[in-house]
A and B are shown apart, each in its own frame.
Chain A
């Protein structure tokens, strides 16, 4: 079978040439951030490093990691490597509480981004003849725009439905004869359900392929999506901090996601010891961007756990592959495609009188839809334990949390010390969804 490859020059480049290009671009990036990003300038100085100390990939290990917390404290623009007059686009991570992370793109960055998502979409089976329905959100979140431009570059007919309601999605899918879906896998399942429940004949649909990402999804989930929507589904990966979607994507062999290594250097580390982990073994993914102009990052810890292999793939691509994401290193959960850190919820709860600090997140999926219940322990020194006072606390919490997270959720107040009964905190997140 002929494997479609968007950019054979880079996607099938001999390993030696990829590594040479990575080294060149890494050194150029290091030279720029050293001078232009105060955070890195100070980091280098603190470590006693100058840019020319980076002669090999191993030298990268001399540098400390960059974390989400670093990006947050740089809010909004301190990590930009170029002045704003050179930035033509700004996206922001789905920030819940605290500062979100802000990412800028130059004109060249946008062109690269288009190129990268086009690679992933072609690898996932999208062609110029497809009618592509994108149901990732178009907004601050980088998902919609990033994949939109890639699909357009391929020459597909792109419908930016964005995060419209399910009924509109199904109507567009029917009327516009959509052949390819791009979005969250959980949302694809909700669409499947709506199709099954509505009076839509699945045989009247033209769906062919789906390219999904933005949250972890299992092989079982993939099978379910494929059967219910009668499509072939592939996985893509990206995170807004390193540029959004386009970091990696599966090819039709579905044996890992090809990382566009001409743009990203991947490392896998033990999240505890921070030591490098051998190819094939799971660990935390760490990315260094080597072609970003506005927002380059060195050794960014993703919190995502996967393994990496550099063995050649049957599709002909020479780019390294990462496994699908195994799990997170932290207790972040993705609900409705949005990253939720328990720490974000803690800051909201801390502001509400009458409740203690302990809480628990129960995440579930009902009828294909993510649900969140927040169990919050009442304070043991509750001054006003009348029903109306407790009800007020409940309402207050529900309102504040929904507003912060941007979606509806349930709050359940529990007896004092019920969540901290054994003197130790219970798990903060219970995820009942089968991903």
Chain B
């Protein structure tokens, strides 16, 4: 196992707000790592900082051993690191197919058209419902379908690593289960490495190998999924259990 993504003592700000306070974490090749915590803990900021959408004031961000803290979002995607943003953020006015093609934008510019077509077929295989809706406007899809599209679109850039931001948000439990199963399958079939941000700790820990717990911009716990599920503080705060139930 080797480290694919590494953050060491990263500080980042939202205006005057110290959003990430000396955050260190790593994700090994082929691992699924969950980043847990309450709303506003800094989970999404962590992902945005990795992707170059928020700039780190200091600290180290390395992908495959190379510093990516100041190269900007596009080269980061080219390097194989792709984010699936919170709230999906698909192009509602465009068709499902066009959304998928947008995900392969950098590859199409490289005239990689044939392979892109093959990947669309693969996406349909993974999410059959998208195949049925290929020409439909993406904005008319259900929440779960939009999330599937967001993931499929991200996969179109052939990432080696996916950063998933709250894929379960606003979805029914059954659909959450489906989507997380796909994430888990992706690792099985393509060896895709995943950093998964979730408020739904129970669901995330089911598919993750390890996890980190964030609170007010700081990481307060690191451990295997098994250890984190055992942790009573995690169970109370993020698995939504009262002390009486634990």
In angstroms, how far is the closest chain B Cβ from the Cβ of A10? 11
Q: Does B231 contact A (CB under 8 A)?
A: yes
| Contact call B26/A24, Cβ cutoff below 8 A | yes
Q: Does B188 contact A (CB under 8 A)?
A: no
Known A24-B24, A27-B22: A108·B218 in contact at CB below 8 Å: no
The residue from A16, A32, A52 contacting B221, defined by CB atoms under 8 A apart? A32
Chain B's interface size range is: 20 to 34
In angstroms, how far is the closest chain A Cβ from the Cβ of B60? 10
The residue from A20, A54, A86 contacting B3, defined by CB atoms under 8 A apart? A20
In angstroms, how far is the closest chain A Cβ from the Cβ of B20? 9
Contact with A along B215-246 (1 / 0, CB 8 A): 10011111100010011110000000001000
CB contacts (< 8 Å) of B230 on chain A: these are: 107-108, 111
Q: Which of B6, B22, B25 counts the most A-chain CB atoms under 10 A from its CB?
A: B22
Q: In chain A, residues 81-96, which have Cβ atoms closer than 8 Å to a Cβ of chain B?
A: 82, 85-86
Chain A count of residues within 8 A CB distance of the other chain: 27
CB contacts (< 8 Å) of A53 on chain B: these are: 22
| Contact call B232/A111, Cβ cutoff below 8 A | no
Q: Does B107 contact A (CB under 8 A)?
A: no
In angstroms, how far is the closest chain A Cβ from the Cβ of B24? 4
Q: In chain A, residues 244-264, which have Cβ atoms closer than 8 Å to a Cβ of chain B?
A: none
| Contact call B6/A52, Cβ cutoff below 8 A | no
Q: Can you name the residue of chain B whose Cβ is closest to the Cβ of A35?
A: B220
Q: Considering the chains assembled together, what is the distance between the CA atoms of A86 and B227 in angstroms?
A: 14
CB contacts (< 8 Å) of B215 on chain A: these are: 31
Q: Considering the chains assembled together, what is the distance between the CA atoms of A28 and B59 in angstroms?
A: 16
In angstroms, how far is the closest chain B Cβ from the Cβ of A151? 22
| Contact call B219/A21, Cβ cutoff below 8 A | no
Pairs A–B under 8 Å by Cβ, sample size 17: A20-B26, A21-B26, A23-B8, A24-B25, A24-B212, A27-B22, A27-B23, A28-B212, A28-B220, A52-B18, A52-B21, A55-B22, A82-B233, A85-B243, A108-B227, A108-B230, A111-B230
Name A residues whose Cβ lies closer than 8 Å to a Cβ of B: 9, 16-17, 20-21, 23-25, 27-28, 31-32, 51-56, 82, 85-86, 106-108, 111, 291, 293
List 3 A-B pairs, minimum CB-CB distance, nearest first.
Answer: A55-B9, A52-B22, A52-B21
Name B residues whose Cβ lies closer than 8 Å to a Cβ of A: 1-3, 6, 8-9, 11, 18, 21-26, 58-59, 212, 215, 218-223, 227, 230-233, 243
